[in-house]
Amino acid sequence: MKWTRTPQILAKISDQKLQAWASDLNAKWKSLGRKIRDDVRTHPMFYSQIYVPYPLMVPGGRFIEYYYWDSYWVIEGLLLSEMAVTAKGMIQNFLYLVERYGHIPNGGRVYYLRRSQPPFLTLMMDAYLAHANDTEFLRENIHLLEVEYEFWQRNRSVSLTVGDRNHTLNYYSVQIGEPRPESYSKDWELVTDLNEDARQELWAELKSAAESGWDFSSRWFLSWPPPLPAKLKDTKARAVVPVDLNAFLCKTEHLLASFYRILGNTTKAAQFQAALERRLEAVQAVLWNEAAGVWLDFNLLKKQPNPAFYPSNLAPLWTDCFSDQAAAERAVQYLEGSTVLSYKNGLPTSLARTGEQWDLPNAWPPLQHMVIAGLAKSSSLRAKEIAFALAQNWVRTNFALYKKYQAMFEKYNVDGDGKPGTGGEYQVQVGACTEMLQCLQGQDVCLQSLTRQGGCAFLMGGGPLFCLQRGGPLFCLQTNCWAGS
């Protein structure tokens, strides 16, 4: 792997302390790189690893193998760090897995083969192509992007009727029971008072929730909304049509249509454009909630939307999975009408305190990015302002804890003065590559957004992280720091 000591992103950070921090984070790539031995390929019966041919980055901490959806942000970080060859290699690894298995497993162990994770392969390709004009790489592999898309359409789709219209959307659905090998004892302890059928049912639900990447969360509990009591045994992930999964597939369809147009295949382009238009209609009909002014997960058992807050409710803003341009303004009203913006350490994953790691009080980097980037690119000035404020809060939280612990964490606690996240099945992990580069990316996204508006963009030690000139007096995105209109 070719590591770059001083990627250009560092020059965009004027504050010396923050620049030094970013440089420290960039240096951590050297400890996170892995190459799977060829003996794993020639003697797979001796290993739990799944072989892939190219070098890769692992998340860090206890996670010493690659994971699917984490790798999207890893690749974005690698590209920001000018390690495009390594980023391409990771994409080639995933293409190799699609060619071999027909889908991308949850992670790089054989016990993950029967479930996937959120489909980001096509988005990874798009991120890479934005940095490298490698049309030939796309041409050689676009059929594998389509194979993965078809896996989700064939194995993870559900039909719903709204009015007189039938719609097809996607959900997480693993149809095999038995305990998860990676959490075998915990899964057995959970079902001691259940009969055999109920055990198998719950184990399949746990695997389906794990496929979402949100393992575990009140989002998958049948008992909702909070404060109704709910626990892990209430997991019914296969009953949920998730907003974010369908937003990701919406983006996949848009990109596949665009890719085929670039390659001159108008027939395929028209096919995926039609698929995109069908999904846009389905997302609007099934997941958009006019009363709430946002998209909401739909529960198939209750036949109604889940009204609870999750950052994933805003995922369509990030993937452009909407037709009504007023959606961003409605999303701002939705955020400002809740309590979620009152948390200064990050956007909470939910407002339910269940003890699970994908709930309050934790904030997760991928969710911060989706919401911030979705708001920042909208035409709404207020949405942009909220995006900048959220980005500032997130960078500040990460930097403060890095100074204290000399480490980055996979999740952060939004309560109080800020501390590492908590809850779930394991202790919070240190050195997570995804989260580390999310800070670099968060800074870069905001700087780019400010630059596009013709504003100033700079970092100040002890002061506002981001400032914007809006054609008048300077105002800064920090609490009690407004000096203009």
Is 410 among the residues known to form the active site? Answer: yes
Query: Cis omega before residue 216 (within 30°)?
Result: yes
Q: Which of 126, 146, 356, 410 is catalytic?
A: 410
End-to-end CA distance of the chain: 49
Tell me the C-alpha distance between 181 and 375, whole Å: 39
What secondary structure, in 3-state letters, does the chain show? CCCCCCCHHHHHCCCHHHHHHHHHHHHCHHHHEECCCHHHHHCHHHCCECCCCCCEECCECCECCCECCHHHHHHHHHHHCCCHHHHHHHHHHHHHHHHHHCCCCCECEHHHCCCCCCCCHHHHHHHHHHHCCCHHHHHHHHHHHHHHHHHHHHHCEEEEEECCEEEEEECCCCCCCCCCHHHHHHHHHHCCCCCHHHHHHHHHHHHHHHHCCCCCCHHHECCCCCCCCCCHHHECHHHEECHHHHHHHHHHHHHHHHHHHHCCCHHHHHHHHHHHHHHHHHHHHHHEECCCCEECCEECCCCEECCCCCHHHHHHHHHCCCCCCCHHHHHHHHHHCCCHHHCCCCCCCCCCCCCCCCCCCEECHHHHHHHHHHHHCCCCHHHHHHHHHHHHHHHHHHHHHHHHHCCCECCEECCCCCEECCCCCCCCCECCHHHHHHHHHHHHHHHHHHHHCCCCCCCCCCCCCCEEECCCCEEECCCCCCCCC
Distance from C-alpha of 178 to C-alpha of 323, rounded to nearest angstrom:
42
Burial (CB < 10 A; 0-12, 13-18, 19+), residue 132, is: middle
Candidates 75, 71, 80, 76; CA nearest to 4 is: 80
CA distance 142 to 14: 40
- CA-wise closest residue to 324 among 285, 361, 266: 285
CA dist., res. 483 & res. 474, Å (int) = 6
Q: Which of 70, 215, 244, 297 is flagged as catalytic? A: 215
215 counts as catalytic: yes
User: Hey, which residues are catalytic here?
Assistant: 215, 410
